[in-house]
Structure 1
Amino acid sequence: MMGCADVLGLDLGGVTDAPVTLRSATVVTAGAPAPYCEVRGTVAPANTIVVRLPVDGWTQRYVQTGCGGLCGNANINYGQAATCPPIADGTVASATTDMGHQGRPDGSWAAGDPQAQLDFAYRGVHVTAETAKAIITAFYGRSPAYSYFTGCSDGGREGLMAAQRFPGDFDGIAAGAPANNMAVQNTFHHAWNVLANRDADGEYILLAGKLPLIHAAVLAACDKLDGLRDGQIDDPRLCRFDPARLRCHAGQDPATCLSAAEAAVVRRLHDGAVDARGRRLEPAVSHEWGSELEWTLFVPAAQGQTVASENFALSYLRYLADPNEARPGYQLSDLSFTVESFWRTVLPSSTYLAAMDPDLSAFRRGGGKLLLWHGWNDQHISPRSTLAYYDALRATMGASTVDRFAKLYLLPGMAHCGGGEGPNTFDILTPVMAWVESGRPPARIVAAKTTGRTRPVYPYPTVARYDGTGSTDDAANFVAHTPRVPVRNDLDWVGRPLYSHGYQTWPRVVDGRLVLR
């Protein structure tokens, strides 16, 4: 094994498609479970990479972690993988990247920089994997035996993009709450979150003070559908809540009920974006019943506030929807909710930024294993989007084939990548490692909450059911239950053809512009 400082002398020419510049290599001991050599550098033109190499006890595993949002920050974030023993004890080599740009979360980094757009889309993760593996091989004198990727939100999209475009980069991928439908998610979905809650004068109709009222009513109606009243809904698809039941009666205190306009907003936020004829412009159900306390992402506490959904939508609509024309003055009111506008808006960026190709044949043939996971209470990215991708995967490749290399976990009560009222801390990476390294298919995972509650979560469509004995806060008292009649997912929406193979492109940068097929 070479010394940490000697890494700076490595010749990495030809490792990837562009020059690699290593800027620092330092042994870190403070705050680490074990000493590691941290290497920082750049893959041209601007992909910042960070590689961590354990000084002792390396297990020949490599783990690459993903970003969130529009990235722009090369800080290793293990997220849910923090509970994975090899991560916790510091015996894996790891790396991450800012995906080709720095800072500016408003998306303006993409204006006039087509290469940065490609690096964010898919190239940044790939060249980081190539470079990190070369550094690891030189440092230890042997290459990684197993390579893994873990990420949530955009990190989930990055993991799926790797499986689809670079199937040989990773042996196992854990993709959480993937923003794989980014071109729709960050346009019609988030714009609808805002516009569906505004009146003719541009004022918000529903404010966050009413969310606990709505949530309590939803739980009263649907919490016990799984046989247990425990403050979480195991499968929100079974909930048939009608917000109209909360409409105010004559003389009722308005703090205890909803106006007709507020009830209509709740319905619109739940159902998601549609055109004037009711045709869906995003997958069915935008926000599940039971997730209402998380709606502060797009329901403000007071008039005059700018909600996060507005920032998400404008960042994409202004700088990423059209790869060659920035529109910094674009407003949400400029977006038309029509089928024609849908395709004009989400294409062409879907062809290289979305990760929706359901043909993972090459990844499967290489022995790759995929664990998808999503919280049912996700307020940012609808779990229906992940269900739609999983259904497309099974329809394309065959259910039995998919079951041999991919699993989906849906976590009741969990919000976006964590948080929420349900158990939300769990180890998703160890099951991936066991599946890859020993062929042991993942079974249940156990999720925990700071309150002390633990619950098992099984591969979809199996769910956990209380066995009738002991504490309902103890995972040991739950068993697997597979519904005899599975819930059918409603896949009818305008963008369903996006879950297909063949339209994805590999753009080129020519004379400062992005050229697509």
Structure 2
Amino acid sequence: MRATFWTYAAVVASAAAASTSLSDICTVSYAKKALPIGALQGVTVDTSSVSASLVTNFTASSIFYPTSTFDYCNVTFAYSHDGIEGDVVHVQYWLPAPGQFKNRYVSTGGGGWAINSGSSSIPTGVIVGGVGGLTDGGFGSFNTQFSSVALLENGTINWQATYMFGYQAQHELAVLGKELTRNIYDVPSSDKIYSYYQGCSEGGREGWSQVQRFPDQFDGVVAAAPAFRWAQQQVNHLTGNVIQKTLDYYSPSCELEKIMNMTIASCDPLDGRTDGIVSRSELCLAHLDWNKILGASYSCPAVKGSGYSSATPAQTGKVSAKAIEVIKTYWNGLHDSDGKRVYFTYQPGSTFTDLATAYDSSADSWELDISGLGGIWVGLFIDLLQETNIPTLDNVTYDTLKEWMIFSQKKYDDILQTTYPDLTDFQAAGGKVLHVHGEQDFSIPTASSIRYWNSVRQIMFPSKSYRAGAAALDDFYRLFLIPGVGHCAVNSYQPGAPWPQTTLQTLIDWVENGKAPATLAGSEEIDTMCRWPLRPLWTDSGKKFSCVYSQASVDSFTYDLDAYKLPVY
């Protein structure tokens, strides 16, 4: 972590808060007096639902914040929306000791179908001297996922739950949380409480849902690998499966791993330094020698099955021409039968998660394994059936995938696409965004984030050139690609890849002290994450690092989604 974060002056809490201890404020009676009654129109807080629990010597560890041990008070309560029968939403807030409070509030998001990440994300608030918050979205409990309540018993969409998941629950969490924070610590109305958000994947999308709809809600947002464009994003998980079925080839897991490892080895040096990290994935395909990959021998030991994965046998063989055909088609991205681009794919060097196959021990063969991420979307939100996955891809073509995407966009565009590109109001409110995305993300294409960034640039600064528009965006919105990193996690296949663990702290420094980050810090001895559109480059035999502009790199990440008549931001 940068020393500057720890050395800048902390906001002084009110005298009333400073004179109390954590145990003083961590009681049901104290929490009830601080409840944000009347903070939201049409919402009734259930005063009888309040709980307050003191937790001491809690150790929090995550890639999203430095490992820390601290005491906190867990306050939870429920509220309901007036006029909606049976509606109950639970929220949870972690309070730091009054002496550690720095006039900050931090909302946290979820991942996948979950609207929160439980105790793995909420500690980030306490760690930066603020109150941390999470919500259950009204789904029944903090452990209930949106997918389990998405359909009503009559087989129709649960629109209340869908809107809550889309953006409303996070808005209510923040409004209530900021008011609770002010009341708990007795912060005068004349004093500012800085409000922040941090989330990755679905949590990243949730952060953007707030920036786009409620411009003055957060002073700063960390949005990592956001799950933009649910219509395209979820269906796109089935693209690899349809490619496999169309080409009638299902690679053994070891064959896929061999291709990936050879890709990493080939593309690693393209940034000017050989360090086991693919930092310039956009240059990769032009330099990949398929003749070396074809026929390469692979060997993997048998793996016992577990609760998360099936057993696989020992595998030996050579990379086949058919496997290479599948991979080339996969890396080309989804196109319709007219050859028009429907969506983009993952960067070379990432794991082939959407091409994973299943081993059938009875037939001693590798077979289709339909992606659950794509299948559940089609089963629930298109077929309107209580399916955890679609049972078959028979008669599903590339055009079918496009039709599913267009149908989904029409039906859920205003709730789940979350790509509204005009952020003028957020900029005017003084908000800041740090948007980060792993370059070897295997679940949400890195190009997805670049497309949204570019949409904002084009809409907000249409008369400026690409580079001038990028400079204008830098005033409040900065996008960083993280070399070698997978989806919201470190990458075991590129173990030296940096992760910006203190991004929230960097954001706070930008918001509260005006220190805009030119680069992000990772595990390297210097900051090696460049803000888009600059790209990393090592010179002097890998000793000197710089961030450079490359038009070829920009062009590589720019896609014309010409399969659509309407714009896809």
Q: Quick one: which of 7, 10, 26 aligns to 2:53?
A: 26
Please tell me whether the aligned partners of residues 109 and 115 of structure 2 are also in contact (alpha carbons under 8 angstroms). Answer: no
CA 1:335–1:371: 2 relative to 1, 3 Å:
farther
| Equivalent residues, number | 476
Percent identity between matched residues is 26
Measure, in 1, the Cα distance between the counterparts of 2:323 and 2:274: 27
Q: Give the alignment's Cα RMSD to 1 decimal.
A: 3.1
Residue 104 of structure 2 corresponds to which residue in structure 1?
61
8 Å CA contact retained: 2:242, 2:398: no
Indicate conservation of the 8 Å contact 2:103/2:130, yes or no: yes
Unaligned runs of 5+ in 1: 501-517
Larger deviation, residues 491-500 vs 429-438 = 491-500
Q: Which residue of 1 aligns with 2:32?
A: 8
In the alignment, residue 53 of structure 2 is paired with which amino acid? T
Distance in 1 separating the partners of 2:43 and 2:266:
58
In structure 2, the partner of 1:372 is 435
Match of 2:348 among 272, 289, 312: 289
After superposition, where does 1:105-254 map in structure 2 within 5 Å? 105=145, 107-112=147-152, 113-142=158-187, 145-187=193-235, 189-198=236-245, 205-239=250-284, 240=286, 241=288, 243=290, 246-248=293-295
Q: For 2:57, what is the secondary structure of its paired residue?
A: coil
- Secondary structure at 1:125 match in 2: helix
Equivalent-residue separation in structure 2 for 1:43 and 1:298 (angstroms): 43
Aligned-pair distance for 1:468? 3.5
Give yes or no for the alignment of 1:36 onto 2:72: yes
Residues 309, 153 of structure 1: CA spacing in aligned structure 2 closer, same or farther, 3 A cutoff? farther
1:190 Cα offset (Å)? 0.6
SS in 2 for 1:313: helix
Distance 1:147 1:354, change over 3 A: same
Aligned: 1:439 with 2:514: yes
How far apart are the structure 1 equivalents of 2:121 and 2:451?
A: 27
> Could you tell me whether the CA contact under 8 Å between 1:152 and 1:175 is conserved in 2?
yes
Give the TM-score normalised by structure 1: 0.83
Aligned equivalent of 1:483: 549
Measured after TM superposition, the shift of residue 309 of structure 1 is 6.4
CA contact (8 A) 1:71 1:99 kept: no
Report what 1:503 is aligned to: none
- The separation in 2 between residues aligned to 1:217 and 1:495, in whole angstroms, is 35
**What are the residue-to-residue correspondences of 1:410-489 with 2, within 5 Å?**
410-420=481-491, 421=494, 422-448=497-523, 456-466=528-538, 468=540, 478-483=544-549, 485=551, 487=553, 488=555, 489=557
Does residue 132 of structure 2 align to residue 94 of structure 1? yes
Give the TM-score, by structure 2 length.
Answer: 0.76
Q: What do residues 81-136 of structure 1 show as CA deviations (whole Å, max 9, x unaligned)? A: 95xxx754x62211111333244658231002221111101111000001111111
Is the alpha carbon distance of 1:219 and 1:139 closer, same or farther for their aligned partners in structure 2, counting shifts above 3 Å?
A: closer
Say yes or no: does 1:78 pair with 2:102. no
Q: Equivalent residue for 1:261?
A: 322
Q: Secondary structure at the match of 2:263?
A: helix
> What amino acid does structure 2 have at the position aligned with 1:491?
Y
Per-residue Cα deviation, 1:266-287 (whole angstroms, up to 9, x for no partner) = 112222222222222213xx12
Residues 172/243 of structure 1: CA separation in 2 closer, same or farther (3 Å cut):
same
Change (3 A) 1:337 1:211: closer
Deviation at 1:358, TM superposition (A): 0.9
Separation in 1 of the partners of 2:164 and 2:73? 26
- Equivalent residue for 2:480, pick from 394, 397, 409: 409
> How far apart are residue 317 of structure 1 and its match?
1.5
SS at match of 1:155: helix
Q: Which moved more, 1:379-388 or 1:428-437?
A: 428-437
Take 2:459 and 2:392, find their aligned partners in 1: how far apart are those partners? 36
| Secondary structure in 1 matching 2:93 | strand
Where 2:50 maps in the other structure, the secondary structure is strand
Q: What CA distance in whole angstroms lies between the structure 1 residues aligned with 2:565 and 2:193?
A: 38
Q: Deviations over 1:113-166 (max 9, x none)?
A: 221111101111000001111111111111652100010000110111110011
* Equivalent position of 2:359 in the other structure: 302
Q: Any idea what SS the aligned residue of 2:418 has?
A: coil
* 1:505 alignment counterpart: none
- Could you tell me which residue of structure 2 aligns to residue 492 of structure 1? 560
Deviation at 1:207, TM superposition (A): 2.2
**Per-residue Cα deviation, 1:8-65 (whole angstroms, up to 9, x for no partner):** 3445332223222343112221315333221112232343211011122200011111
The CA distance in 1 between the partners of 2:460 and 2:90, in whole Å, is 36
Q: Does 1:315 align with 2:363?
A: no
| CA pair 36-222 structure 1, distance change in 2 beyond 3 A | closer
Distance (whole Å) between structure 2 residues aligned to residue 402 and residue 355 of structure 1: 19
Deviation at 1:432, TM superposition (A): 1.0
Taking a change above 3 Å as real, the CA distance of residues 496 and 401 of structure 1, as seen in their structure-2 partners, is farther
State which drifts further: 490-499 or 326-335.
326-335
SS of residue paired to 1:349 = helix
Range that drifts further, 138-147 or 174-183 = 138-147
Q: 1:335 to 1:439 in 2, by over 3 A?
A: farther
Contact in 1 for aligned 2:74/2:95 (Cα 8 Å): yes
SS of the residue 1:31 aligns to:
strand
Which of 305, 309, 334 lines up with 1:273 in the alignment?
334
User: Given the superposition, is the C-alpha separation of residues 485 and 354 from structure 1 closer, same or farther in structure 2, using an over 3 Å criterion?
Assistant: closer
Cα deviation, residue 394, structure 1: 0.8
Q: Residues 484, 118 of structure 1: CA spacing in aligned structure 2 closer, same or farther, 3 A cutoff?
A: closer
Post-superposition CA distance 1:285-318 (Å, at most 9, x none)? x121111xx2245413624899986211122122
Counterpart residue type for residue 43 of structure 2: A
The alignment partner of 2:206 has SS state of: helix
1:236/1:136 Cα in 2 relative to 1: closer, same or farther (>3 Å)? Answer: same
Shift of 1:434: 1.3
Check whether the contact 2:247–2:326 (CA below 8 A) recurs between aligned residues.
no
Partner amino acid, structure 2, of 1:412 = P
How many angstroms apart in 1 are the aligned matches of 2:411 and 2:434?
Answer: 28
One-letter code of the match for 1:111? L
Where 2:132 maps in the other structure, the secondary structure is strand
Contact residue 314 and residue 332 of structure 1 kept, 8 A:
no
In structure 1, how many angstroms separate the alpha carbons of the residues matched to 2:289 and 2:338? 21
Question: 1:504 maps to what in 2?
Answer: none
Report the counterpart of residue 513 of structure 1 in structure 2: none
Give 2:91's aligned residue. Answer: 49
